[in-house]
Structure 1
Amino acid sequence: MAGARTKSTMTAQERRISILNTAAQFVAQHGFWGLRLREIAVAEDMTEAGLLYHFGSKEGLLLALLDYRDKTDRAALYRTLGVPMPSGGEAVGEDDPFPVGLRDLTCATTERNATQPEIVRLYTVLQGEALSENHPAFQYFRDREQWVMREYTKAAANDGCSDPRRTAMQALAAMDGLQMRWLHDRGHIDLAGEWRELIDRIID
């Protein structure tokens, strides 16, 4: 394609993003423990030393990947919902406005997730691995759980739920379970459609 960037002409930031996108595919397939830096380096046409130059370590690469994916997906979701993006691409804080209901938030999330199964697989695999305290993403997922629950609880309150935090927890648990089933049988499960049925039951 005319004007397309080659690996050798990428800026440092473009190369970093390219590595993260490639790493996402391998982590989704193998998890963190089965990840081999050499495979990513070969796919990126670079040396392992060059890879480590950008991220420092295998653990650094994983955390950078999670941060990148969270901020990328959050930015896209907030744009769809018309929610102001906090500075630095962070999640909404305790005092930040979040004028979206839980139904709209979760339906927009599943519609987006239905278009990126490898990213859903990435998080599903890593969340299971990171239950172990010696996993490098253990603390990351604990922190992530807090901001996601904060976001969903605000949204549930906007929908008038009598117990917003409990409803948020139930919605997250149901979404995790549905996405797992969908990853196993994508040809027969309409992720976004099934979720619209589920969220109406949860909020009622």
Structure 2
Amino acid sequence: MAERYTSDLADVLRWVEDDPELGGGEIALYAFSFSTWVALSVLRRLDRPPAALVCDSGPMFDIGAGLQHFARVRKPTLPEAQRGGAGHAVYRSCFSLLCRRMLAVRNWPPDLSGTPTRLMFVAGGQDQVVPESQIAPVADRYARAERWTAPNALHMSALRFDREEYQERVLTFLTGAFAHPTRRSEAAKDG
């Protein structure tokens, strides 16, 4: 969600959509974990958004709680003074505060009411990093979004642990997204 990454992704999407080999066709965006925040945020910036966005293993609804969680997950790698008690509490607070300040997040999740992009959210049923309980409220914010929890998956591993159902669900979703034109393909016809 940081400005640099969001603007970089917007530039890449504009470059791809202007590629003559695409021929005005549709594109999909596939994001994992941290990149799901950026991918969801970038949709508001694009004149011709992609037809579909698949968010796998993210994003979290409660950013502050998510950052606190990431700080706890990192606990074993910290110096001993920051692994417990007041040292860890100070570390978690500073980590969360600095990250939120750096990200400068406002109005999360973003309002995408005018965006035709179809959304799919995939959570891992065994994900300890970004649990389904954090992804569900983001997905539920968008009435047309599809949401699926891969029952055996850890973080970013649904394709590995729930392969057949993952492939079926994602390919069906993408087929549907490409079957229904968005403003992007309509703009290409008008242009």
TM-score norm. by structure 1 comes to 0.32
Looking at both structures, which has the greater relative contact order when contacts are Cα pairs under 8 Å and sequence separation is at least 6? 2
TM-score norm. by structure 2 comes to 0.34
* Structure (1/2) with the larger helix percentage: 1
* Structure (1/2) with the larger strand percentage: 2
